């Protein structure tokens, strides 16, 4: 099953499944961004709009891209605001957004599904304004080394969504190649598994 097909199937239960990674990411966005304001936010792989609702309180304009029609339909059903624009787009292609426009580019739990980080960071850098920042929150590679990846209960059993392992150095090198300056790197644990390897990795770059 392709990544796109998998998310179209997962869309109806994504928000209600038990999923600590999803919940920790949602909490983390509030911790990292609460109180900030932005002119234009670009959200990549917005899914069901779990974070889009929050980003819409921070940004005068929010553009949210995803290639799954099913996930986008869930997001659109929740968020109906004139300053929030959802668009179906494949992040492995050229992104259909204005260059040099966004002061916050953000992505959550998406990069494990993209094989080519160089393309991602080059497109993100192009979309960022001169004072823009890029915030990435991603399943920690230590978890991937242990076999974790996006998965859900389908009609006939567990469906594992195709995923790629990116090491921390892969993120750092691809971002540096795109001319971005690393400002923050943090690791995050869910309260329920504090004795395990970190669940999320967050990274913030400036232009």
Ligand X SMILES: C[S@@+](CC[C@H](N)C(=O)[O-])C[C@H]1O[C@@H](n2cnc3c(N)ncnc32)[C@H](O)[C@@H]1O
Which residues contribute to the site for ligand X (CB under 6 A)? 3, 7, 22, 25, 45-47, 50-51, 66-68, 71, 90-92, 108-110, 113-114, 150
Q: For residues 167 and 146, is the Cβ–Cβ distance under 8 A?
A: no
Residue position matching structure tokens 């998406």: 110
Straight-line distance from the first to the last Cα atom of the chain, in angstroms, rounded to the nearest whole number: 37
Residue 163 CB, shortest distance to ligand X, in Å, is 10
Tell me which DSSP letter residue 128 carries. E
Report the C-alpha gap between 53 and 51 in whole angstroms. 5
Report the C-alpha gap between 63 and 143 in whole angstroms. 30
Give the nearer residue to ligand X in terms of CB position, either 79 or 131. 79
Give the nearer residue to ligand X in terms of CB position, either 14 or 205. 14
Give the nearer residue to ligand X in terms of CB position, either 45 or 141. 45
The structure tokens listed for 149 are 């990846």
Residue 108 CB, shortest distance to ligand X, in Å, is 4
Q: Torsion-angle region of residue 183: left (phi > 0), alpha (psi -120 to 50) or beta? A: alpha
Kindly compute the dihedral angle of the four CA atoms of residues 106, 111, 114, 116, in this order, to the nearest 10 degrees: 80
Q: What share of the chain is helix, strand, coil (3-state, %, to 5)?
A: 35, 30, 35
* Furthest C-alpha separation in the chain: 49
Residue 47 CB, shortest distance to ligand X, in Å, is 2
Residue 131 CB, shortest distance to ligand X, in Å, is 24
Give the nearer residue to ligand X in terms of CB position, either 131 or 160. 160
Give the nearer residue to ligand X in terms of CB position, either 22 or 166. 22
Give the nearer residue to ligand X in terms of CB position, either 91 or 104. 91
Nearest alpha-carbon partner for 11 in 50, 37, 54? 50
By beta carbon distance, the residue nearest ligand X is 47
């Amino acid at each position: 099953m392709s990544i796109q097909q998998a998310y179209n199937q997962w869309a109806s239960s994504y928000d209600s499944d038990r999923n600590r990674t999803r919940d920790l990411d949602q909490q983390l966005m509030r911790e990292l961004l609460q109180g900030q304001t932005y002119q234009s936010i670009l959200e990549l792989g917005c899914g069901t709009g779990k974070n889009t609702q929050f980003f819409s309180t921070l940004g005068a304009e929010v553009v949210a891209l995803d290639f799954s029609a099913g996930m986008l339909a869930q997001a659109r059903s929740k968020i109906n605001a004139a300053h929030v624009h959802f668009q179906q787009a494949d992040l492995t292609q050229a992104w259909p957004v204005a260059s040099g426009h966004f002061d916050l580019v953000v992505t959550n739990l998406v990069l494990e599904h993209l094989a080519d980080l160089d393309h991602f960071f080059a497109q993100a850098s192009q979309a960022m304004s001169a004072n823009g920042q890029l915030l990435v929150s991603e399943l920690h590679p230590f978890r991937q080394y242990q076999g974790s990846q996006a998965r859900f209960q389908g009609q006939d059993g567990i469906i594992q969504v195709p995923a790629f392992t990116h090491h921390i150095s892969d993120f750092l090198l691809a971002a540096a190649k795109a001319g971005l300056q690393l400002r923050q790197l943090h690791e995050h644990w869910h309260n329920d598994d504090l004795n395990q390897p970190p669940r999320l990795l967050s990274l913030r770059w400036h232009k």
